[in-house]
Amino acid sequence: MILDRFRLDGHVAVVTGAGRGIGAATAVALAEAGADVAISARSADQLKEVATRIEATGRRALVLPADLSDLDAAAGLARSAYDEFGRLDTIVNNVGGTIPNAFLDTDTDYLTESFRFNVATAHALTRAAVPLMLAGPASRTQSVVTISSMLGRTAGRGYLAYGTAKAALAHWTRLAATDLSPRIRVNGIYVGSVMTSALEFVAGIPEMMDQMETGTPLGRVGEPEDIAAAALYLASTAGGYVTGKMLEVDGGIQQPNLDLALPDLA
């Protein structure tokens, strides 16, 4: 049956930024499909809540609190998952983010840190994971999924550091797919506006919510599960003939749907 292609029975996944939002929803979705999941984020309390949801599906959870801006900590997640579960099949590079900033307030350190947090973390974890993934049979479905942003393919004022880093992550995805084929598929998601903690401040301002909703062709802000469903597709054999691609899961937007009202330079 076609739905069997979405199953991940017996697989092991690592999901970063999994304490809430897209990462948490993705971790639970992979567990519902049959995977054991190692989850990492800064907050141990949030991770424990997500672990409870994973275990409610009948799968195992491994809680790995870490500051993933530390690249050694990011890389170490792969070995921790492998040692706990005995295999490694899927990496979801979800951790990332950068606060918007005006151009003249975006110094080189800010740009560098954005690249490090959004791109270098994904590379560090994936590079550490690949030898462990290759240790399994070639017949296994193995994949890497990156969470980028529609701001990595469009232009919006105030998003220079974030958009540049997410564009780099998208192209890293394409290049890594070439390097790792045919054994490991690598794909990503251009995420649109999704109601996570990053948008909590918008939720309390009706005018801003209206701007985002009316600026989205589908007329709504996304849910974390919208992205989790796409990640499951890419991780499973349902997406087994897809690599080096970026899915646009963004409600149809072609430009940023939130104007930060940054003024023109004087």
221-233 burial by CB neighbour count: b if 16+ within 10 A, else e? Answer: bbebebbbebbbb
**Three-state DSSP state, 234:** helix
Query: How many C-beta atoms surround the C-beta of residue 23 within 10 A?
Result: 30
Q: Which of 82, 110, 159, 162 is catalytic?
A: 162
Q: How far apart are CA 129 and CA 109, in angstroms?
A: 28
Q: How far apart are CA 68 and CA 65, in angstroms?
A: 9
Backbone angles phi, psi at 133, to 5 degrees: -70, -40
What is residue 118's DSSP assignment?
Answer: I
Q: How far apart are CA 145 and CA 238, in angstroms?
A: 14
Q: Report residue 18 CA to chain centroid gap.
A: 9
Q: How far apart are CA 133 and CA 225, in angstroms?
A: 26
What is residue 218's DSSP assignment?
Answer: T
Catalytic residue at 162? yes
Backbone angles phi, psi at 230, to 5 degrees: -65, -40
As annotated, the active-site residues are 162
